[in-house]
Amino acid sequence: MDLSWSAEEESFRAEAREWLEAHVPKGLSANASMDEFEEIIAFERKMFEDGWAVVSWPRKYGGRDASLWEWLIFEEEYFRAGGPHRVTQNGIFLLAPSIFAFGTQTQQDHILPRMAAGLDIWAQGWSEPNAGSDLASLTSRATRDHERGGWVLNGQKTWTTRGALSSHIFGLFRSDPESQRHKGLTYFLVPLETPGVSMRPFARLDGVEEFAEVFFDDAFVTDEQVLGAVGQGWGIAMATTGSERGLTLRSPGRFLATFERLASLARGRQVGESMRERLVDSWLDVRAYQLFTLASVTNIMDKREMGPESSINKIHWSESDLRMYELAMEILGPDAVLDADWSRGFQFSLAGPIYAGTNEIQRNIIAERLLGLPKG
């Protein structure tokens, strides 16, 4: 694995850094809230206008045909410049890879440009009241409507990330009533304005109403809103969750930037030997994740797909992120509650070991699929 950058890649970095330093809004928190939504989406639309929203996508969809290496460079520069967590990220980083892999040409041509431009905001509709990390136990159903040539959706999705900010939702529904577990599931793409779809926002720990419950009551969708083959939704969903747990959503740039802020915080205060050792451990965690990601990109460029290894990624980034924020809270001491940026980041980091599949489930996947251990 070559860890050096070419002259062309360094030129790309310089161009990205110059644009980001000139355009990233100042004073925004890392996590979007309802109050900040309009400002963040306006920034993301400016990114699209100037060709920075989806750098690795084809130019016809608003990208730059950049390589994965250049995408990593852009992400490093984005977070180094203080770019906010993107409200479009569920679409661009989770759904889009599955659209490219499984979508029809018509779906790609319609969905991808609007997603990149920030015109459609996508929510992830996985969890249900009785189906969290065990996604295969979902009960929301899709019933064939032969007369109208489509499907009728019924059920409920909960813990819908960015649901309160979104215009569309992607998710799994059981299309074969006789099926069990991961069989007989179909992947649907649904506008939230569809008749029969309703949404109820609810607050996170920090009071921001960003999550939502989404209800489907005889909501009709056409066959064109099915992604991939009917009954084969599980495989597509696993590709999507692989993006969430592994490479595309959690670039090293995010954690490198967090560490640099943490190191700056520590330099400005007196910290003991124990805290200094934990700071070094955090740097090693972040650097290890960066190298692991570079190795993953090398494998992808060599046409080798990521498998259960994405579960290792998920555990590592979520627990490393939480440890950095815990250390920041200890360094700040009583001032922690007064520092909104660190405090909100800490609250968000608490969810890391839970969302994208709880870390307990990820450890089971590693034990069974990578280590070959028997099921418990």
Dihedral pair phi/psi, residue 200, rounded to 5°: -130, 105
Whether residues 338 and 263 fall in one domain: yes
Name, in order, each residue with C-beta under 8 angstroms of 64's C-beta and a sequence gap of 6 or more.
Answer: 51, 52, 55, 56, 57, 70
What pLDDT is stored for residue 132 in this prediction?
66
Could you tell me which residue, 199 or 300, shows the higher pLDDT? 199
Rounded Cα distance between 279 and 294, Å, is 23
Q: Which of 231, 260, 275 is the last residue of a domain?
A: 231
pLDDT digits (tens, 9 = 90+) for 97-121: 999 999 999 999 999 999 999 999 9
CATH of the domain at 41: 1.10.540.10
Which whole number is the average pLDDT over 182-209?
Answer: 88
Name, in order, each residue with C-beta under 8 angstroms of 279's C-beta and a sequence gap of 6 or more.
Answer: 262, 263, 266, 271, 327
Residue 327 pLDDT grade (very low, low, confident, very high; cuts 50, 70, 90)? very high
Question: Is 25 inside a domain boundary?
Answer: yes
What pLDDT is stored for residue 241 in this prediction?
60
Three-state SS at 184 = coil
pLDDT score of 243 more than 70: no
Question: Is 108 inside a domain boundary?
Answer: no
Question: Is 265 inside a domain boundary?
Answer: yes
Name, in order, each residue with C-beta under 8 angstroms of 268's C-beta and a sequence gap of 6 or more.
Answer: none
Whether residues 262 and 288 fall in one domain: yes
Whether residues 223 and 260 fall in one domain: no
Question: Is 192 inside a domain boundary?
Answer: yes
Residue 229 pLDDT grade (very low, low, confident, very high; cuts 50, 70, 90)? very high
Catalytic residue among 75, 77, 244, 309: 244
Residue 245 pLDDT grade (very low, low, confident, very high; cuts 50, 70, 90)? very low
Q: How many domains does the chain have?
A: 3
Q: Catalytic residue at 77?
A: no
CATH of the domain at 357: 1.20.140.10
Whether residues 222 and 257 fall in one domain: no
Predicted TM-score (pTM) of this structure: 0.87
Whether residues 225 and 266 fall in one domain: no
Identify the H or E element spanning 218: strand 211-222
Question: Is 267 inside a domain boundary?
Answer: yes
Three-state SS at 68 = helix
pLDDT score of 167 more than 70: yes
Question: Is 317 inside a domain boundary?
Answer: yes
Whether residues 73 and 160 fall in one domain: no
Question: Is 375 inside a domain boundary?
Answer: no
**Are 262 and 328 a contacting pair, CB within 8 Å?**
yes
Give the range of the structural domain holding residue 315, as residue numbers without chain letter: 246-370
**Are 268 and 316 a contacting pair, CB within 8 Å?**
no
pLDDT digits (tens, 9 = 90+) for 40-95: 999 999 999 999 999 999 999 999 999 989 999 999 999 999 998 888 989 999 89
CATH of the domain at 217: 2.40.110.10
CB contact burial 80-103 (16+ within 10 A = b; e otherwise): bbbbbebbbbbbbbbbbbbbeebb
Please tell me the least confidently modeled range out of 14-18, 210-214, 221-225, 316-320: 210-214
Whether residues 66 and 134 fall in one domain: no
What pLDDT is stored for residue 244 in this prediction?
45
Could you tell me which residue, 91 or 2, shows the higher pLDDT? 91
Whether residues 339 and 279 fall in one domain: yes
What pLDDT is stored for residue 29 in this prediction?
63
Whether residues 318 and 352 fall in one domain: yes
Whether residues 129 and 162 fall in one domain: yes
Rounded Cα distance between 82 and 345, Å, is 13
